[in-house]
Structure formats: structure tokens, C-alpha cells
Amino acid sequence: MKNYLTPFTFGNGVELRNRFVMAPMTTYSANPDDTVSDEELAYYEKRSYGVGAVITACTYVIANGKGFPGQFAGHTDAYIDSLRKAAQAIHKGGAKAILQIYHGGSQSPRELVPNGDVVSASDIPMDNSAEGGSKARALTIEEIKEIIKAFGETTRRAIEAGFDGVEIHGANTYLLQQFFSGFTNKRTDKYGGTIEKRMRFPLEVVAEVNRVKQQYADDSFIVGYRFSPEEPEEEGITLDDTVQLVDRLANERLDYLHISLGDFRSLARRYKGEKENRIRILRRVIDGRVPLIGVGSIYSKQDALEAMETGAELLALGRELLIEPQWVEKIKAGEEIITEMDMTRDNVIPGPLMQMMQSRPGWVPGVK
């Protein structure tokens, strides 16, 4: 544990005070105008005193990318002040502030996007629509270019707002993953077909974010990328596909890669090699070119020790920081931590997030 409680330095020279970060979790708690609410500011500040960095909930980069009610926005300059408040709240505890940026694609509910015009890589069924058989519309080439530019513009706003970095959200079946997946991408142009064409859009987003970083910030601005390793559908992403994507991303001037997993112990399912731990497999692919953040069901000290054995350079804590906001501080002090939610404690969790937890019994241990 000692090595993970000591400072970690990225390749760009930026130092985190330890190797634990707060994982991005949707709060559903923004103000009605999609600015960051006081509840969210308190929530982030509460968890900023122990971890080395806080990665925010995903922030949509263009009007038709909103995927959740109560999601805070970053798609126009009008939101820079709101973003600045979030960065300042995280900085109060000494953590680095990283803004996660994304587009919801077919997961965007029709009622949340302008004119109900939900878009994706292809004409595919919507994930969150209450309308039976409702489909998202395939983006045109011009619209793809507009979204790529929007990722860059939101990166510029993050820089102006004082964030220490951005994380490009290419996971959890949102738009970037919809382009990479053969299950959701049925295009026949330069953005679809072969795996090289399906990874074009995510790689162009990375290139644009890095271009904006070079123009408006310096090397100390962190750029990360989050990805999901596999999909269950027959035409969906396999771990062999992800190996190729990660191999490319590791050469794209990123400061870290962040795997999205429900449990760090999970094994490869659709993979031509040995069905071993996914994090171990991908670390071998990366081969030290860029740090990898491991995540998934890390609650106790023992969980963390087991997760360290995967070799991930950094570990993200998500649900455990809802349960125990001072997890890192208590681990460092040798104090007892709790690993199931005690509803009598004031853990500074926004009301809508608490309601979501209660509507999904078992998602957070102890919440029934």
C-alpha cells in the first residue's frame, strides 16, 4: 500500500500526491440551467482531500450530446464560470481536477436533445428511449467534424476554467464507443467497416483535444482516455479489438488510459489469448508507454491490495467514495473504514444521486 500512498508523476511532469483517483460518477444533480449545483460542489470538495485527482461526472460537449437529466454542461462559453466553480471545489482539498468530456450518442434521451434529434454512428435503436423501436440518426461527415471540434472547444473551456486536465469518455457505450463497436457502427464510409476505420473518430477526437491543449495550455495539462474493454453482442467489441485500440492510444500523446470495469478482478471473455485478468492483459499491450488506471469494486484495503497486483499504475475509487469519502485519509492513518453505506451518516451526497442509488438496490453496498 505504501507505494500507492506516495506521489506519482505523469510523463508530463505533473505530480499527484498519491496513486488513488476518484472515478467519474453521474450525479443527476446540476441546476435546471445545467450549471454545477451547490450540492455537487460540496460533494466534490468533500472527496478532494485524500485522492490525488478527482475525475468529474461526464460533461457533454455539444447540445445534442446530453445523456442524463441533471447533467452539467460545457458546450458553450456561458458555462465556463460553472466549470470554474467545480475546479475550485476540487482544488480546495488539494486534488487535481479532471473534467470528463463526452457525447451520449444513442444513449441521449430524445427529450433532452434539441428537436429530439438523437444521433449516433448509424441508424440504431436508442438505448434510453421510452418509445418502442425508436432509432437514433446516423451522423453526417460534416456533423462528425462539428462534434470533433466541440470536444476541442470544451477542452479549451476546461483550460480557461482552471481544470488540470480532461478525460475523453470513450467507454460505457456512449458515442465514441458507438463508433468503435461493430455492433453499433454500420457505416460504409471512412468512419466504418474495418477496425481501423471504426477507430478513426475516437483517434480524431484525441488529436483535436491535443491540438487545443498545445494551443491554449502547456504540457502540464493532463489528457486521459477512458474505454470499455468488451461488449457482449456478437458483433460488439472484443478484447482483441480493444488491444488494437489501446495499442494505438498508447502512442497518441495521452497522459493516461482508464479502463472502465465493474470489478477489477474480471477476466477476458472474448479474446483469442488466455482468459486472464483484463487489466494484466492490457498492461502488457501498453508496455509502460502510458499509465493505466484500474477500477472496479475496490472497497476495502484488501481489495486495493489485490487490485495493485494487476500492475495498474493508478487505482480509481468510485462507489467506495460514496460510502467513505475519507477512504484514502483513513487508510493512510490506519483507521477503520466502512465498506457498506451507512444511511445515518452525512456523506454529502446530492439528493438526486442518493435517489438513484436507492432505486438501484445493491449498486452501492448497504443501499437496499
Active-site annotation, residues: 174
The DSSP letter of residue 63 is G
Return the beta strands (E) in the chain as ranges. 8-9, 15-16, 20-22, 53-55, 59-60, 96-102, 119-120, 137-138, 165-170, 222-227, 256-259, 292-295, 314-317
Instruction: State the cell numbers at 100.
Output: 470528463
Those residues whose C-beta lies under 8 Å from the C-beta of residue 286, and which sit 6 or more positions away, are 246, 247, 250, 257, 292
- Beta strand 8-9 with 15-16: parallel, antiparallel or unpaired? antiparallel
Residue 131 grid coordinates = 418509445
Number of H helices, E strands in the chain: 13, 13
Place of cell 453499433: 184
Cross-strand bridge partners of residue 105 = none
DSSP codes of every residue in 75-144: SSGGGHHHHHHHHHHHHTTT-EEEEEEE--GGGS-GGGSGGG--EESSS-B-SS-SSTT-BPEEPPHHHH
Q: Which residue has the cell 506519482?
A: 8
Burial per residue of 30-43, b for 16 or more beta-carbon CB atoms within 10 angstroms, e otherwise: beeebbbbebbbeb
Count of CB atoms situated within 10 Å of the CB of 251: 9
Cβ–Cβ < 8 Å for 294, 324: no
Residue 85, amino acid:
K
DSSP state of 64: G
Ramachandran angles phi, psi of 267, nearest 5°: -105, 155
